[in-house]
Amino acid sequence: MRILKWLFIVLIVVVGAFSAYAVLFDQTYLFKAAYYNFSAIDDYTIFENNKVAKAKEDKPWPLATTYNKNAYPDSLNNLLEDLSTVGVLMIKNDSILFEKYWDGYSDSSLSGSFSVAKSITSILIGAAIKEGKIKSVEQRVGDFIPAFAVGDKAAVKIKDLLTMSSGTNWNESYWNPLAVTAEAYYGADLMKTATDVKMVDQPGSLHKYKSGDTQLLGLILEKVTGKKLSEYAAEKLWQPLGASNDALWSTDGPNGNTKAFCCFNTNTRDFARIGKFMLDSGKINGVSVIDSAYWTQSITACNIKDAKGLACNYYGYQWWLDPQHPEIFYARGILGQYIIAIPSKKIIIVRLAHKASKERVQTVPREVRALINWGLNS
């Protein structure tokens, strides 16, 4: 009994100290982070969300004549199942060639995509440039966000954000609840979180993955368009692409800022529309939504020095690239969410899951390499 009593006292002290720290240092997001512990693909249920309205007349994907009859290797299936996949979809020549679902998910089941949203945000930056709302990727961030209009931050350009080379001290840690990424994910003031950074490197000199860079892009978009990202995404992408379902884009609170760096939620078939858009060179029904030059740079290696001192040959404007096959590009989420485009095959692969492999083959996750090989052989 005495031991239990002391354990109870220690627990009370720890909880009290934690609560005091969170309140005194304005880190109340820690309560939510502690309660939910780690991110999941259904986190849209714990956040406020804005609707990305579906098309008034959707454009369902037709089924290929060989639907679900093409080669699907057992080795790939085993890998996907080991990594808790909930859905995989292959589209070739604008028809569904193969799809499979697990754990009660279906072709219309909503799932989070985490950093896949970064690629969507990049597309929307291109659309805003096409419309003249942003002059070019060379425009200064400070023209839109006052915190970046003075001091060392004034040198940061939109291009630096697109290539993850802003030079800020944003700490992209997913395991430390005190890190700024957790604050952005669970917190209630994205403007403060994204702008309360310091410069540690010359902008454009070092590629270092930072969700904060994408969040700044989102804040810029909401300012120049006068719309929530969800509204602008519906106008420029979701409705013209013929999306069959409403998507959800999570925010930092009621009427708050959109989480541009993450948290775009939809299903496999509608995610594939983003892949088609990029396969079609940034056009919808033959009409350019983004300029061809912007589209090209989006999927071209930025070649900025990375943390290993090597030229970054695996990242463009918020799109990942395959160094083994430079034509192939993909959007990528932390728990294994992918939209993969293989232009030479006119193939789009979407994979949604609870887990991603930690193994990399030339910066490419193991399951992405397997999915790419599947696509190349289809």
pLDDT at 15: 38
Are the C-beta atoms of 34 and 185 separated by less than 8 Å?
no
Domain that holds residue 256: 43-376
Residue 365 shares a structural domain with residue 341: yes
Residue 29 shares a structural domain with residue 126: no
Residue 20 shares a structural domain with residue 145: no
Q: Is the pTM of this model over 0.75?
A: yes
Please indicate whether residue 27 or residue 113 has the higher confidence score (pLDDT). Answer: 113
CA-derived radius of gyration, the chain: 21
Whether residue 24 has pLDDT greater than 70: no
Residue 24 shares a structural domain with residue 169: no
Residue 30 shares a structural domain with residue 49: no
Residue 59 shares a structural domain with residue 11: no
Residue 191 shares a structural domain with residue 290: yes
Angstrom distance (rounded) from CA 86 to CA 354? 7
What CATH number does the domain containing 54 carry? 3.40.710.10
Residue 26 shares a structural domain with residue 161: no
Whether residue 9 has pLDDT greater than 60: no
Are the C-beta atoms of 357 and 365 separated by less than 8 Å?
yes
Residue 247 pLDDT level (bands cut at 50, 70, 90) = very high
| Tens digit of each residue's pLDDT (9 = 90 or more) over 321-363 | 999 999 999 999 999 999 999 999 999 999 999 999 999 988 9
Residue 258 shares a structural domain with residue 306: yes
In the DSSP assignment, the letter for residue 73 is -
CA distances from 199 to 211, 214, 329 (A): 15, 16, 30
Mean pLDDT computed over 55-66: 97
Residue 38 pLDDT level (bands cut at 50, 70, 90) = confident
Residue 9 shares a structural domain with residue 150: no
Are the C-beta atoms of 277 and 123 separated by less than 8 Å?
yes
Q: Which residues contact 199 (CB under 8 A, 6 or more apart)?
A: 151, 152, 153, 156, 167, 168, 169
Whether residue 171 has pLDDT greater than 60: yes
Mean pLDDT computed over 49-78: 96
Residue 25 shares a structural domain with residue 93: no
- Which residues are bridge partners to 306 per DSSP? 207
pLDDT at 23: 41
Percent with pLDDT over 90 in the chain: 87
Are the C-beta atoms of 179 and 171 separated by less than 8 Å?
yes
Would you say how long the chain is, in residues?
A: 378
Residue 220 shares a structural domain with residue 277: yes
Q: Which residues contact 81 (CB under 8 A, 6 or more apart)?
A: 102
Give the closest residue to 357 by CA, choosing from 82, 41, 38: 82
Domain count, the chain: 2
Whether residue 30 has pLDDT greater than 60: no
pLDDT at 28: 55
Are the C-beta atoms of 349 and 371 separated by less than 8 Å?
yes
